[in-house]
Amino acid sequence: MTSVARSVASLLLGVAFLMLGNGVLSTLIGLRLSATESGPTAVGLITAAFYAGLTLGSLYAHRVIARVGHIRSFSAFASIVSVAALAHALFVDVPLWALLRLVQGFCMAGLYMCIESWLNGTATNESRGQMLSAYMVTLYGASGIGQQLLRLDDEAGVRIFMIVSILMSLALVPVALTRTTPPQLPNVSSFGVRRLYRSSPLGVAGVFISGAITGSIYGLAPVFGAASSFGVSGTALFMSALILGGMALQWPLGKLSDRFDRRTVIIGLSAALSLTSFGMIAAAGLDQPLALMLVAPLFGGLSFTLYPICLAHTNDHVRREDLVSASGGLILANSIGAIVGPPLASAMMSAGGPQGLFAFIAGGALCATLYGLWRTRVRPPLPAEAQAAFRPLPQTTPTVGPLDPLGPLKPPLPQ
């Protein structure tokens, strides 16, 4: 894996700078708005705006890349997200911040497409799995570690936005100087959510619920941290624990799903997430911040693992030649969930206090559990040997699909 990472070190370094900045920015927005009258409602809407931009970018940003090339597109997208990050420091205004996050979401999708198609073009059949692992570790690791940058905030509230902007601008340097030949874009056509649902109802429902849950965590967990008197440092630690826990549990739970009916694993995972959410509510009600911190990695691990296992379950029911386009449809369903979830979760927080976030997640996980139990009654299970090996894929854009070593490569789009 070391040699593989070295071959794309400049690309992964660019990803690291981006995620260091984007990860902390989402938390920072939650902290800044938590003290305002609109509080959770504003954060929920701004989070939804970011995922709406990410969805639009997943559908349309490839046109920019096909027209002007990878390096120019990456430079333009990175410059815009850097400027938008710094613009948050001008003044606190919910409509302005929602617009900025919408633009950033679109540009982040374009940046993901540039990186992922570049990794696809560099990977060989032998190195594809290792490259995907290196990419996943970089995404989650940088996002989790980046939360600690909140400790550098100052009383004026400007320094941290400057740091985020600097990091996003630095992402330009390794990519602009790379000697790796830019590839053509892989096919980013979508399988279609309706057709996917007919193939795997539980898989599509699961990724939709996963999007609602993880979108709410990224946007509203900082609001919960602020309301729980964690302070800036405590909230940064809480967010790091959630994200890094999500990275740590994907492989163990994914490999468990290779040995049993994946529906059983999805049901068990969803039920465990619902129980853990109720545990978070109880700990918050008893004012036990230490318990919250200790349970956070498990809670994050269960939350962030639901998507890749549902994706693997769907892939078990899709023809091999359709795997790449199916991943695009699943990411679209996940993104729609991430748009819908944060406003609903914020409404529950406004009505029932900060614990409303975990009540929303408990309810969503319970829905996945009950739906999974019903699906086991209407469709027989696949034999374990008929299931494909688990591969975690990030919830980014459809262009990550061909990086899966179990999926076929598609012909490129015409330039």
Number of structural domains found in the chain: 2
Residue position matching structure tokens 């919830």: 395
| Six-digit token string for 357 | 């976030």
Answer whether residue 117 shows pLDDT above 50. yes
Residue 96: the pLDDT is 93
Query: Do both 34 and 88 map to the same domain?
Result: yes
Q: Is residue 276 part of a domain?
A: yes
What are the residue ranges of helices labelled H in 171-288?
Answer: 172-176, 193-199, 201-227, 231-248, 250-259, 262-285
Over 46-66, what HEC string results? HHHHHHHHHHHHHHHHHHHHH
Residue 328: the pLDDT is 76
What is the distance in angstroms between the CA of the first residue and the CA of the last residue of the chain?
32
Q: Is residue 400 part of a domain?
A: no
pLDDT in tens, 2-27: 555 566 788 889 999 999 999 899 99
Query: Do both 68 and 157 map to the same domain?
Result: yes
The average pLDDT across 393-405 equals 72
Q: Is residue 283 part of a domain?
A: yes
DSSP 89-119: TT---HHHHHHHHHHHHHHHHHHHHHHHHHH
Q: Is residue 414 part of a domain?
A: no
pLDDT in tens, 234-266: 999 999 999 999 888 888 888 787 788 888 899
Query: Do both 23 and 171 map to the same domain?
Result: yes
Q: What is the domain range of residue 110?
A: 8-180
Q: What share of the chain is helix, strand, coil (3-state, %, to 5)?
A: 80, 0, 20
pLDDT in tens, 82-95: 999 999 988 888 99
Q: Is residue 257 part of a domain?
A: yes
Query: Do both 54 and 203 map to the same domain?
Result: no
The average pLDDT across 213-233 equals 91
CA distance 290 to 296: 10
pLDDT in tens, 180-203: 666 667 665 556 677 778 888 888
The average pLDDT across 376-401 equals 72
Query: Do both 78 and 208 map to the same domain?
Result: no
Q: Is residue 412 part of a domain?
A: no
Query: Do both 131 and 250 map to the same domain?
Result: no
pTM of the shown model? 0.90
Query: Do both 266 and 167 map to the same domain?
Result: no
Q: Is residue 409 part of a domain?
A: no
Query: Do both 154 and 263 map to the same domain?
Result: no
Residue with the bigger pLDDT between 404 and 346: it is: 346
Query: Do both 45 and 113 map to the same domain?
Result: yes
Residue position matching structure tokens 């969803």: 270
Answer whether residue 116 shows pLDDT above 70. yes
Residue 130: the pLDDT is 77
